[in-house]
Amino acid sequence: MDTVIGIKTRLMREYYRYFSKYAKGKVPEEPVAWVTAFTPVEILKALGISYYYPESYAAVIAASEKEQEYIKESEKRNLSRDCCSYSCCFNGSLLLEEGPRGVPPKPDVLIATNNQCNTLPAWWNTLADEYDVPLIVLDYPGESCDRAEAASYVKKQHEMLTEAMEKLSGRRLDEEELLRLVNNSERSVEAWNLLISNLKTKDISPTTLFDDINFLITARCNEDTAKLYDMMDKECGTLEDADPLSIPVFWLGYPLWYHADRYLKELMDGLRITGSNYITWWSLDYSGEDVYEKLFNAYNYTFLNLLQKSRDKRLHKLIEDSGAKGAIVLHNKSCKCDFVSARNVGLPQAELDTDMIDREYLNLEKAKLQIELLKETICRG
Amino acid sequence: MKILSMSGFIPEHISDTIRFTQYGGDRNISNYCGYASDFISRVMADDTIDGAVYPKSCDSTRILTSYLSECNKFLFQFGIPPYNVSGAKEHLACEIKAYKEAVEAHYGVRIDDIKERAEFINKRNEALRKTYEELDSLSYSDYMEKLHEMLEKPLAMQEWSGDIRKREKTGKRVYVVGSFLSDTRLAKIIEDASLTVAGDDLPESGRLVYSEPVETEGDIYLNIAGSILSMRPSPTQVSFKKTMDHDFESIRKKDVRGIIFLTQKYCEPYDYLYSVFSKEADKAGIPAVQIKVNGTEDTGKAALALEAFADMI
């Protein structure tokens, strides 16, 4: 019988089996793609292509406290520390050919999207240079142009991606299989949304959610993912209610991957995270009449690809639902696109200069004072 | 109509814009491109400016609208398709048309001279190209200053005379790579270090002059889009291989001895490009130096670095 631990182990084992530490020299039989976090992976999965997420692996590296060594290695090869730390950390690991789980299997193709930022396609170019393999960049205009025009433009690119992946895999795309996988993703999102709604009322650790969103990123179209989140949600029902005396706050920004708790737990005495925007970023909307419309809606309207007005609307709803009285806002050196997310939040905030990977960007003493001040402001208000 | 524009992707064929060069703004956003931040400052603070048009081509420009939305001026952002993306030309053509309609609606004007403007731009670029091809015998600083001066004027006043001060060639031929040269003092510093600029791929210079002329017959929006996309790819179009193919072809043809890579701090497209570009330069045996500046009125430590670089090559 499946258990939460059992499914997690299975998903992790499947994902990491060809990483150099575990592969024992074996290489994947199917073609390998390295993809960005908002790539329409359903198309790849339907064609039997394995995919890996360099960003996620950078988070794993930081959690294992190796990021400084790898960032320095990248710097030696002229990749500026000003660049996204995910890239500096991951590329350093490749250069040294080491990492907590080794390095991922070499790519046959690189796929980058610009629906979260423009940095990723640039980073992917450095990988294309290193491995000399084809690079496919997908352009998602977001809300910056007419919806029908955007839909047709994105559809063309999804079709082009399909064609390229068919050539790579030597298979023909089965649209029914693609639809089945898209439906799996949709189910994973539904189950995840239900699970994270417990954060407001139950004594659930934000660390669990920051870590376990990883399955929604790396295995969203796998049936196991929805099953896992359903089971976790049921388990939440048995947890105690959250301490009613603690102050509810919203965590606005990335988890701090290098931190054992992924957030500044040690500075948050008396505060409780009741909501976070990061954990909703992969709650993609797969609605649509046909499979290409579903993919368009899901991948064109990701949170970081929205205009300020839509972001504000989405954030206000999240914050309202969380009941938060204040926000801890992270000004993340690596993610300019997230700089403006909190512009119109309308809550007392502690804005901390951070980086999600590079621990050296956080001034802990300053952060402590800022969070204390936030607490005082909320209590006085 | 005083629209401040940022980037060579903005179609001058639609309406006059003032090309942003520099501004001494006090806005300072940490870990953010100084050029973009000075652009924000000028749009917000300069009352003579009533609009802004800019691309969505890097992470700093992506969020410009969020910063500018409070200024209540005309704002338009262009999505710039990555190099060779399926449907890019049609998509950009739609954006150009939407821009034209937005200008008409906001300013209450009717734009019906796109073809004439396109013809004017074709001629101007041809004249620019002739000057560019003699770059190594001209004063690079004089060329850049006159170029910037011209780009700030309304299109009808952008006659390019090509009257640039001559300069004795030195044996230290260099190629300049980078984003818009906001501070033309940098060009002077390059010359003062006895270097001769034989070519560049700056958006206002080498990239602009080699764009294909706009066909004036047929769908004008598609034709403008085609011309814009025919420019040597910028790193913001994320095909570093293509960008470097063009650059290294010019570098070989122009027989240069060094490469100057001029960028803004926190300009990630060029930071990423530099990491692969420097490798390629190493392979080709051509020394490269990266000069980073902070904002539009900064020459950083360029003089020292370029003097040392000149000695080396």
pLDDT attached to residue A209:
97
pLDDT classification of B296: cutoffs 50, 70, 90 = confident
Partners of residue A137 in chain B, C-beta under 8 Å: 82-83, 85, 238-239
Number of Cβ pairs < 8 A linking chain A and chain B: 134
Task: Give pLDDT tens digits for B190-232.
Answer: 999 999 999 999 999 999 998 999 999 999 999 999 999 999 9
Helix or strand run (H / E) with residue B52: strand B51-56
What are the pLDDT digits (tens) for B255-274? 999 999 999 999 999 999 99
For residue B297, pLDDT beyond 80: no
Q: What length does chain A have?
A: 381
SS3 of residue A40 by DSSP: coil
Q: In what order do the strands lie in the sheet with A135-138?
A: A50-52, A32-35, A109-113, A135-138
Q: Which residues of chain A have pLDDT under 70?
A: none
Q: Strand order in B51-56's β-sheet?
A: B18-19, B3-5, B51-56, B74-79
CA-CA distance, A317 to A250, in Å (whole number)?
A: 12
Q: Tell me how far CA of residue A93 lies from CA of A23, A65, A86, A102, A229, in angstroms.
A: 17, 12, 11, 9, 31
What domains are there in chain B, each with its CATH number? 168-312 (3.40.50.11900)
pLDDT, chain B, mean: 94
Tokens standing for A252? 């606005």
Structure tokens at A238: 């048995």
CB hemisphere CA count around B91 (13 angstroms): 29
- The pLDDT score that the predictor gives to residue A344 is 86
**B25 has a pLDDT exceeding 80:** no
pLDDT of residue B186: 94
The DSSP code sequence of B216-258 is -SS-HHHHHHHHHHTSPPPGGG--HHHHHHHHHHHHHHTT-SE
Q: Which residues of B touch A157 (CB under 8 A)?
A: 85-87
Please report the ipTM that was assigned to this predicted complex: 0.96
B62 with A160: Cβ contact below 8 A: no
pLDDT tens, A62-99? 999 999 999 999 999 999 999 999 999 999 999 999 99
- The answer, yes or no, to whether residue B287 has pLDDT greater than 90, is yes
Q: For strand B74-79 and strand B51-56, is the pairing parallel, antiparallel, or unpaired?
A: parallel
Interval B138-194: pLDDT, tens: 999 999 999 999 999 999 999 999 999 999 999 999 999 999 998 999 999 999 999
Q: What is the mean pLDDT of residues B273-301?
A: 90
pLDDT of residue B275: 97
Nearest residue to A121 (alpha-carbon basis) of B134, B236, B160, B200 = B236
What CATH number belongs to A16-174? Answer: 3.40.50.11890
Subunit contact B29:A339, Cβ cutoff 8 A:
yes
Residue type, B182: S
pLDDT of residue B302: 87
CB nearest to B63's CB, from A112, A139, A337 = A337
Q: Closest by alpha carbon to A322, among A347, A298, A357?
A: A347
Asked if residues B224 and B118 have their Cβ atoms less than 8 Å apart, the reply is: yes
Contact A141 B87 (CB under 8 A): no
Distance from CA of B202 to the nearest CA of A (A): 18
Longest dimension (CA), chain B: 57
Question: Does the distance separating the beta carbons of A146 and B94 come in below 8 Å?
Answer: yes
User: Distance (Å, rounded) from C-alpha B175 to C-alpha B199?
Assistant: 5
